[in-house]
């Protein structure tokens, strides 16, 4: 950490959103997020990078910017359920899956991209993220034993009646005490109140 670092600056660098600085503060049990010292080591949980659409942005331009390849625009479009990649509204926040520093998965007999998308991201409809990232010509056919990269994208869940962040943190993160971290990663002001139908994204404390 350099002398010019702040938690907000780190959140902007790693997440694209300076307002997510509480994620870093909570993960490192910092009593005062305004007090960090040069040389201090911080744990940076994985929260999918997001980009706020600016005038002139296009999906192809964003793919070129983040991946160095404009043809990978369906990765961003699919991750955000954008039906028409040619139309994105200025001011919209878009999730940008990680494709560089990611894990890998060896396909087992009978696996499908829909099953992997459900397991990794919580929604089978997100299978194009995997297909495009791996340049699969036919997403319905994946060979047993082939190695796929696992794009970085936080698992998501749609809140149902009776859900609490404590319960969700325990079930999906294995730690009920991570409820505050879950709230911070989703800009939830009151961890004791979550709206039914809201999509909650789960930060990851380790790599993909």
Read off the pTM. 0.91
Phi, psi (degrees; rounded to nearest 5) at 104: -130, 160
pLDDT value of residue 82 = 95
pLDDT value of residue 3 = 57
Does pLDDT of 2 surpass 90? Answer: no
Phi, psi (degrees; rounded to nearest 5) at 155: -60, 145
Residues 192, 58: Cα–Cα separation, whole Å = 38
Mean pLDDT of the 135-144 span: 94
pLDDT value of residue 205 = 85
What DSSP letter does each residue of 57-115 carry, written as one string? Answer: --HHHHHHHHHS-GGGHHHHHHHTT-S-TT---TT-EEEE-EEEEEEEEEPPTT--HHH
Mean pLDDT of the 140-167 span: 97
What are the tens digits of pLDDT across the range 81-109?
A: 999 999 999 999 999 999 998 999 999 99
Contact 112, 142 (CB under 8 A): yes
What are the tens digits of pLDDT across the range 25-41?
A: 999 999 888 777 777 88
What are the tens digits of pLDDT across the range 160-170?
A: 999 999 999 99
Residues 208, 197: Cα–Cα separation, whole Å = 26
Q: Give me the chain's average pLDDT, please.
A: 94
Burial of 118 (0-12, 13-18, 19+ CB in 10 A): middle
Residues 67, 196: Cα–Cα separation, whole Å = 35
Which range is least confidently modeled, 31-35, 109-113, 138-142? 31-35
């Amino acid at each position: 950490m350099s002398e010019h670092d702040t938690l907000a600056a780190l959140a902007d660098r790693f997440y694209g959103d300076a307002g997510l600085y509480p994620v870093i503060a909570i993960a490192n049990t910092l009593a005062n997020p305004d007090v960090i010292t040069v040389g201090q080591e911080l744990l940076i949980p994985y929260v999918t990078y997001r980009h706020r659409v600016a005038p002139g942005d296009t999906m192809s331009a964003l793919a070129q910017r983040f991946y160095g390849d404009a043809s990978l625009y369906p990765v961003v479009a699919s991750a955000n359920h954008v039906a028409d990649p040619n139309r994105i509204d200025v001011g919209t926040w878009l999730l940008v899956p990680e494709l560089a520093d990611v894990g890998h998965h060896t396909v087992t007999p009978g696996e499908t991209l829909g099953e992997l998308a459900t397991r990794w991201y919580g929604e089978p409809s997100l299978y194009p993220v995997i297909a495009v990232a791996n340049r699969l010509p036919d997403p319905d056919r994946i060979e047993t034993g082939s190695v796929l990269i696992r794009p970085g994208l936080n698992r998501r869940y749609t809140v149902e009646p009776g859900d609490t962040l404590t319960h969700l943190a325990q079930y999906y993160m294995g730690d009920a005490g991570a409820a505050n971290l879950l709230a911070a990663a989703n800009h939830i002001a009151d961890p004791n109140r979550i709206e039914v139908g809201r999509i909650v994204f789960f930060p990851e404390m380790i790599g993909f």
